[in-house]
């Protein structure tokens, strides 16, 4: 799979995630894919289990992809994940094997107020 084809697959994946289309969202994964959430200490094995765990979440989710970078078999997506109106800054690191995701790690960080000590060097982002 070329880099352009992987990028197209990632675009489909994130658009489907934003639309809560769990079937299309999970086509990107190998059957034996592994998903890890280091902050909660969770590891989910298998595409079907990954899909089922996400479908079981009661929250309304939105995905706003900020950028996707990658080459060969390693791709990173920076996005804002919003659960029930609460945004969380997120990063997904995906490792591909034979054109599908074999391993993904997602990191999440909540917004916080900036420290006043650096205010003179800072411009606020939307």
For the segment 19-25, the average pLDDT, to the nearest whole number, is: 94
Q: How confident is the model at residue 105 (pLDDT cuts 50, 70, 90)?
A: very high
- Higher-scoring residue by pLDDT: 11, 126: 11
Length of the chain equals 126
Q: What is the CA radius of gyration of the chain?
A: 16
Q: Which two tokens stand for residue 120?
A: 């003179």
Q: How confident is the model at residue 125 (pLDDT cuts 50, 70, 90)?
A: confident
For the segment 118-126, the average pLDDT, to the nearest whole number, is: 85
For 79, phi and psi rounded to 5 degrees? -150, 165
For the segment 29-43, the average pLDDT, to the nearest whole number, is: 96
Pairing of strands 61-71, 29-37: unpaired
Model-level pTM?
0.91
**Domain 3-112 is of which CATH architecture?**
Roll (3.10)
Q: Are 6 and 96 in contact (CB under 8 A)?
A: yes
Q: Tell me what pLDDT residue 120 has.
A: 87
Mean pLDDT for the chain overall:
94
Alpha helices, H only, the chain = 3-18, 22-25, 47-55
Q: Tell me what pLDDT residue 111 has.
A: 79
pLDDT at residue 30 tops 90: yes
pLDDT at residue 91 tops 80: yes
Q: How confident is the model at residue 114 (pLDDT cuts 50, 70, 90)?
A: confident
């Amino acid at each position: 799979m070329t880099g352009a084809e992987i990028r197209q697959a990632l675009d489909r994946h994130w658009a489907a995630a934003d639309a809560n289309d769990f079937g299309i969202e999970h086509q990107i994964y190998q059957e034996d894919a592994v998903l890890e959430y280091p902050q909660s200490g969770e590891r989910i094995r298998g595409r079907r289990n990954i899909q089922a765990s996400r479908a079981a979440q009661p929250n309304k989710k939105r995905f706003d992809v900020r950028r996707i970078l990658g080459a060969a078999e390693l791709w990173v997506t920076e996005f804002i994940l919003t659960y029930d109106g609460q945004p969380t800054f997120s990063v997904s690191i995906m490792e591909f094997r034979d054109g599908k995701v074999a391993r993904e790690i997602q990191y999440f960080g909540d917004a916080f107020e900036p420290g006043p000590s650096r205010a003179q060097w800072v411009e606020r982002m939307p």
